[in-house]
Homo-oligomer: A and B are copies of this chain.
Amino acid sequence: MKEIRRKGICYGGDYNPEQWPQEVWADDIRLMKMAGVNFVSVAIFSWALLQPSEDEFEFSWLDKIMDMMGEAGIGVDLATPTAAQPAWLSRTYPEILPVSKEGMRYSYGSRQCYCPNSTDWKRAASRIARKVVERYKDHPALVMWHTNNEYTCHVQECYCDNCAAAFRLWLEKRYGSVEGVNRVWGTKFWSQYYYDWMDILPPRKTTAQPNPAHVLDYRRFMNDSVLDLYLMEKKIIEDISPQVEVMTNFMMTWKDLDLFQWAEHVDVVTWNSYPDPDPSYDPSWTAIDHDIMRSLKGGKPFLLMEQAPSQVNWRRVNRAKAPGMMKLYSYQALAHGADGLMFFQWRQSRRGSEKFHSACVTHTGDEHSRVFREVVDLGSDLKMLEDLKDASYPSETAIVLDYENWWALEYENNQSSEVDYLENLRYFYKHFYERHIPVDFVHPLRSDLSRYKMIVVPFLYMLSREAGNRFRDYVKAGGRLVVGCGSGIVDEEEAVFEEGYPGALSGTLGLSVEEFDPLYPGQRVCLSFEGKEGKPDGEGDLWQDRIHTREAETVAWFSEGMMKGAPALTCNKLGKGEAWYMGIRPDKETLARILEGICRDSGIEALMDAPPSLEITCRENEKGRWYFLMNFSEENVCLSLKDKNYINPLTGRPAGAQIGLAPLEGAILLDVQ
C-alpha cells in the first residue's frame, strides 16, 4: 500500500518556474500562500533544461524549486519530463519523430512529438525519468509522481516502420500466427490474404476502404503501445520510489485510450477539464466526464489535475470565464468526486504557445486581478471543505462505456456516420442528470455490475460472449438491463455474430434482429405503446431494427415506415430481472416514459425534487451527506429545503428553509443526520 501524502483537498496548479527569473519565484510563493495553494505540478515540460545533451544533466534550478516548495509547505507533484523531448534528441535520432498515415514524418518544435514505438525515445525517456526519480525520491516536498502528460493528446497514431515491426509482434502475441490474423481479419476477401508476417503493415493511406478489423487492431495496438510507455515509467518509479503514488493525467472522455484499462495502473485517477465558456456548451458534458473518471476506479475520488482559471488558447474564439463560472465548475468537480482542484497554470506565460492560456497570476503580474481574486476566494472555500475528502458517490444506476466498442463503432466506413458514440452516451446520461439521479459508468468486463439496480447500454455494437454472459447473469440476479438499438452486431473479433444480431445479447433479450436501417439526420419514426395498429404516442430517431421477439414481450410497436407493425420496444423477464431492448433511439419524452417506469419499478429515486435546470449531486462519508446544488442556467432558481435541516459547511451555520441560486451560483448543503 502506497503512502498518500496529499493533504486535505489538493489545491494549486502546474508551476513552470523555468519561464521566469528567480526573483519571481519568491513572489510566486507569497501569492500561493495567499491563495491557499498546497500542491503544485512541476517539471512537466522541463526535459530540455534538465538534460542539455546526451550525457549532461542540470538539476540545480529544480533542486532550488523543490527546496523552496518544501520550505513553504507546498507539496510537489513531480513530473518525469517526458511529454516533450529536447530538440537535440529529435535531431540526433530522427526516427523518434512520428509518421502520419500518409507517410509524412512530423517535424519537432511543438510538444508530444514522438513515436510510441521508438526504442531511441524509450531509452532516452527512461534515462531522464530514472535521473529525476533517483534525485528527488526522498525530497520532503515530494507528494506524487506525474508521468508524462496527456498521453495521445496530439499524436494518436504513428505509422512508421518501427510501429509496423512492433505491430507484427503484437499481432503474433494476440493471434499466434499469420493464419490467425487472416482468419480474424477475413482476408480471404478482396485478395488481402497474408502469407508472411512481413507483408502486414499498419493501415496506412490506401486506395479504398481499409480492412476494419485491421484498423481496429491498430487502434488497440496503439493504445497498448502508449500504455507500455506509461508502464515503463511506472516501473522505474516503483523500483526506486515505491511508496509514492504514481499517475498520469487523463483528458476528458477521450476516445483514443481505453481508460478503464489504464486506470488499473494508476494510483489515483487525475484528469484535465476544459469546459467551453460558450453558452451553447452543456455543463452535463463535464458532469459526465467527472462521473466517468470517478467510475474508472470503481468510485474512488479523483483529482481535477488541470482547469483554466479563465480562458484557454486553442479554441476558435477563446472566451474568458465570466465571474463565478470557474468556481461553479470547481464545485461541480467536487460534486462528482474530486478531492483536488488544480489549475493550468500558476503564472501566465509571456512567450510561447500558451501565453494566452489563462493562469492564476495573470499578465498583470499581481494579486489584484479579478481572476486571481477568484482563485483566492475558492481557496478559502476549500479550507472549509476538508472533511469532504474521500466521500463516496451513491449511484444505483450505471451506463455502459466500452472504449473498444467506441473504436469499432466509429470506424470510418460504418453503417451510419450519424451514430456518434459519445453523443449517445451524453444523450442517455442527460435523462438522469436532469432528474438528479446519480449515475456511474461501467465497463462490461472490468466493472462490478452487481452494484446497480439498472444498467443502460447505449449502442454496444461490439461485445464479447463473456460480456454477454455477464449481462445475462446481471439480469438473472435481478438487474434491469436497458439495451439500445444497434447493439450486439459483432463480436470482439469484429466479426458479425454467426447466429445473427444481437448475438451474445440475444438470449438475454429474448429476441433476434433481422435487419437494421440507419435513419437520416432529422428523420423521426413514430411508435405506439398501444399495439401494432395503435395510435402513435412516441417517437425515435437515428436507427431502426427489425425485431423478432422470442421470449420477450413487445411494449411498443413501430407505427410507420418500413418496420411498421414490428416491435420497437421489448421487455424480457429473465430470472429476477428484466432485459429491455429499444429498436430505435427514443426521443426525449419517449425515453423518459420508458426509463421513469423502470426506475419506479427498481426503486431508483431522485436526490431532490428540483427543476431540471439545476444540477444536483451528493457525496457521503462519515461526516454526513454533502449535497451540491449548481445553477448553470441563466435564470435564478429557488428551492424549498422543506423538512431537512441542512448545514452550510462554508459557514458551519444552518442553511435555512429555502435557498436561492443566481446564474453561475452553487451551494453546498451538509446533511449530518
Binding site for B on A (CB under 8 A): 16, 18-19, 45-49, 52-53, 81, 83-88, 91, 98, 102-113, 153-155, 184-196, 198-214, 278, 310-311, 313-314, 316-320, 322-323, 348-356, 362-365, 369-371, 413-418, 493-498, 500-501, 512, 514-521, 546, 561-562
16 A-B pairs, CB-CB below 8 angstroms? A48-B188, A49-B191, A83-B191, A86-B193, A106-B205, A107-B201, A107-B203, A111-B191, A209-B314, A211-B352, A212-B355, A311-B415, A317-B417, A323-B562, A356-B414, A364-B512
Name the B residues within 8 Å of A494 (CB-CB): 351
Name the B residues within 8 Å of A104 (CB-CB): 102-103, 205
Contact residue among B191, B354, B514, B518 (Cβ-Cβ distance under 8 Å from A81) = B191
A2 to B484, CA, bound (A): 57
Cross-chain contact A316 with B418 (CB below 8 angstroms): yes
Report the 10 A-B pairs with minimum CB-CB distance, sorted nearest first: A186-B351, A107-B204, A84-B191, A186-B352, A48-B193, A87-B199, A110-B206, A320-B517, A48-B191, A154-B207
Among A190, A209, A319, A494, the most chain B Cβ lie within 10 Å of the Cβ of: A190
13 more contacts with CB within 8 A, not counting A109-B210, A311-B415, A355-B495, are: A16-B189, A49-B191, A81-B191, A86-B191, A107-B202, A111-B207, A185-B352, A189-B353, A212-B355, A317-B415, A317-B521, A349-B496, A351-B494
Name the B residues within 8 Å of A561 (CB-CB): 322
A191 to B79, CA, bound (A): 13
Contact residue among B109, B313, B363, B521 (Cβ-Cβ distance under 8 Å from A413) = B313
The answer to whether residues A201 and B109 also contact, given A45-B189, A323-B562, A501-B363 and a CB cut-off of 8 A, is: yes
Cross-chain contact A322 with B562 (CB below 8 angstroms): yes
Cross-chain contact A318 with B416 (CB below 8 angstroms): yes
A21 to B600, CA, bound (A): 50
The answer to whether residues A520 and B317 also contact, given A88-B196, A203-B109 and a CB cut-off of 8 A, is: yes
Contact residue among B213, B414, B515 (Cβ-Cβ distance under 8 Å from A362) = B515
The answer to whether residues A319 and B518 also contact, given A352-B185, A413-B314 and a CB cut-off of 8 A, is: yes
Name the B residues within 8 Å of A370 (CB-CB): 514-515, 546
Cross-chain contact A316 with B196 (CB below 8 angstroms): no
Among A212, A319, A353, the most chain B Cβ lie within 10 Å of the Cβ of: A353
Q: Which residue of B lies closest to A503 (CB)?
A: B363
A188 shortest CB reach to chain B, Å:
5
Say how many copies of this protein the assembly contains. 3
A416 shortest CB reach to chain B, Å:
5
Name the B residues within 8 Å of A46 (CB-CB): 191
Name the B residues within 8 Å of A45 (CB-CB): 189-191
Q: Which residue of B lies closest to A92 (CB)?
A: B199
Among A19, A191, A199, the most chain B Cβ lie within 10 Å of the Cβ of: A191
Name the B residues within 8 Å of A414 (CB-CB): 356
Cross-chain contact B364 with A416 (CB below 8 angstroms): no
Cross-chain contact A192 with B113 (CB below 8 angstroms): no
What secondary structure prevails in chain A residues at the interface with B? loop
Cross-chain contact B110 with A190 (CB below 8 angstroms): yes
Name the B residues within 8 Å of A209 (CB-CB): 110, 314, 353
Name the B residues within 8 Å of A314 (CB-CB): 209, 413
Name the B residues within 8 Å of A91 (CB-CB): 198-199
A478 to B212, CA, bound (A): 59
A98 to B205, CA, bound (A): 11
Cross-chain contact B48 with A212 (CB below 8 angstroms): no
The answer to whether residues A210 and B353 also contact, given A111-B191, A514-B369 and a CB cut-off of 8 A, is: yes
Name the B residues within 8 Å of A562 (CB-CB): 320, 322-323
A152 shortest CB reach to chain B, Å:
11
Contact residue among B48, B107, B190, B415 (Cβ-Cβ distance under 8 Å from A356) = B415
Cross-chain contact B351 with A110 (CB below 8 angstroms): no
Q: Which residue of B lies closest to A183 (CB)?
A: B351
A520 to B350, CA, bound (A): 25
Q: Which residue of B lies closest to A366 (CB)?
A: B500
A317 to B104, CA, bound (A): 31
A452 shortest CB reach to chain B, Å:
31
A581 to B81, CA, bound (A): 44
Cross-chain contact B352 with A212 (CB below 8 angstroms): yes
Cross-chain contact B417 with A316 (CB below 8 angstroms): yes
